[in-house]
Each structure stands twice: as C-alpha cells, then as structure tokens.
Amino acid sequence: MLTLLGVLIVIVGFALRFNPLLVVCVAGIVTGIAGHLSFGEILTTFGNAFVSNRYLSLFILTLPVVGLLERYGLKEQSQQLIGKIKAATTGRLLLVYLLIRQATAAIGLTSLGGHAQMVRPLVSPMAEGAAAHRHGPLPKNVSDRIKALSASTDNVGLFFGEDIFIAFGAVLLIQGFLAQNGIQVEPLHVSVWGIPTAIAAFVIHGIRLYLLDRKIKQMMDSEPSGSSEVTLEEVQSHAR
C-alpha cells in the first residue's frame, strides 16, 4: 500500500498548484523508494521512460524554447517580414500554411506545426500583421476572427492530412475495427481512400480562406468609429 503514496503526492501537489513536472518526479521517486528500488534503479526507470516517450519530452522542451524566442522578438520579426511582401494577404498566407500543413502531415511529419509551437508565435501574428499593414489598426472582432481561422487552418491541415499517412494510429484503428467485424482491409487502402476526403477538406477550407480577405475588408468598412482597435504594436507587444 505504501507504493500508493505517489498517487497521494500527485493529488496534493496538483491541488496546491505546485510545478507539475516537479510533482510527478517526486511522486516517482517516492513510489520507487516505497517499492524497495535502489536509487540507481529509480534513475534507470526515469531514463527509460524519458527515452521511450522522447516525442512527449521534446514537446515539453519545445514550450520554453518558443517562449524564449517570443521574449526576444520572434513575433515582431515575423510581422516585419510579412509586411515587406506586398502580395501577402491574410487569406493567402493561411492558404499556403494549410497546404504545407496538410502535405507534411500526409507524410507523417505531424510535429512541424501545431498551436503552441507554430500558430501562436508565428502564423497568427503574421496573419494579423498582413491585415494590419493593409487596413490599419484592427478591431478586436477582426483580430479574433483571424486568430480563430489561424487555429482552424492548423486543425484542418493536420486532421485530414495525417489520415493519408499509412502508419498513423487512426488508420490502423480503422483497419482493426473493420477486421473485428469481418471486413479485411489493408491499411494502404484506408489511407488511399483518405485522399479524396483530404482534397475536399482542402478545397472547402481553402475557399473560406480565399474569401477571408474580402470578409476582413467588409468588417473593417462596417466597423463604427471609436470602437476598440488592436494596433500592430499591440499585436507585437502581446508576446511580452
């Protein structure tokens, strides 16, 4: 029963809002000691868990790296870059990102994008910056709409792109479910039939993005004077 002390430490630590990583580590050490493991065996267990879950570990390491880059002007530099490209608009930028996100997900590179490491620090600020350079300070409703479409673009590209990758878990899940019900289908066939769906998703969301620039202009024209506006400087200072 002493090995359950680790569970108690996790509950108390999370309830008191201590650092989650520290709480889990302490709980693991206490559980190991209660289970009569030596300190060397506990360290070995931690090392094996870290290596076997290296993708999760890399994700945890990604967050502070992105935060540090934001602190030193990642958003500002990305917005200045997009401002120098005259042909760049919010809709075109997100359409290009949709294409890249879906194409890379289709070959298994699902970690190249994401809300935390790509949308928030780069895609969304660049999309807002492109709109601000063309229309001036953005009202809050326009800014929120751009942020929402930036996030949804990542979702659509990833969700429908990864279904094409033959080794993706969902493809194997579909194949296993069909096999349990007497339908023998190869994973390759499942991924191939995911291609028409991915194309349809790209076309449908692409049309939304193509019409986004027109919608932004309509929203800007209909916005009453004196309303709350989000300037380019405010967008840049959001990282701070």
pLDDT band with cut points at 50, 70 and 90 for residue 225: low
Residue 66 included in any domain? no
On whether both 9 and 104 belong to a single domain, the answer is: no
Examine residue 1 and state whether it is found in any structural domain, yes or no. Answer: yes
* Interatomic CA distance for residues 167 and 190, integer angstroms: 11
In this prediction, residue 5 carries a pLDDT of: 85
Distance CA 94, CA 92 (A): 6
Query: 129 near 214, Cβ under 8 Å?
Result: no
Longest dimension (CA), the chain: 71
Q: Tell me, what's the pLDDT at 113?
A: 83
pLDDT at 65 over 70: no
- Give the whole-angstrom CA distance, residue 97 versus residue 78: 14
- Is the same domain home to 100 and 209? yes
**Residue 156 corresponds to which amino acid?**
V
Q: pLDDT at position 239, please?
A: 46
**Residue 100: what residue type?**
I
What is residue 18's predicted lDDT score, i.e. its pLDDT?
A: 83
| 23-26-29-33 Cα dihedral, nearest 10 degrees | -120
In a domain, 166, yes or no: yes
CA distances for 70 relative to 78, 121, 213, angstroms = 10, 7, 27
| pLDDT tens-digit readout, 98-116 | 999 999 999 888 878 888 7
Give residue-wise pLDDT tens across range 129-163: 888 888 888 888 899 999 999 999 999 999 999 88
Q: How many domains does the chain have?
A: 2
77 and 48, same structural domain? no
Residues 130, 197 share a domain: yes
- 143 and 207 together in one domain: yes
Q: According to the per-residue pLDDT averaged within each range, which of 12-21, 57-66, 190-199 is highest?
A: 190-199
Residue 63 lies inside a defined structural domain of this protein: no
Summary mean pLDDT of the chain? 81
The set of residues, in sequence order, having a beta carbon less than 8 Å from that of 163 and lying 6+ positions away, is 170, 171, 191, 194, 197, 198
Residue at 64 is within a domain:
no
Is the pLDDT assigned to residue 69 strictly greater than 70?
A: no
* 3-class secondary-structure state, position 137: coil
Range of the domain at 12: 1-52
Which pLDDT band holds residue 228 (cuts at 50, 70, 90)? low
CB 71 within 8 A of CB 239: yes
Give the per-residue pLDDT at 20. 75
Residue-wise pLDDT tens digits, 162-204: 888 877 777 777 888 888 888 888 888 888 888 999 999 999 9
Within a domain: 147: yes
**Residue 60: what residue type?**
I
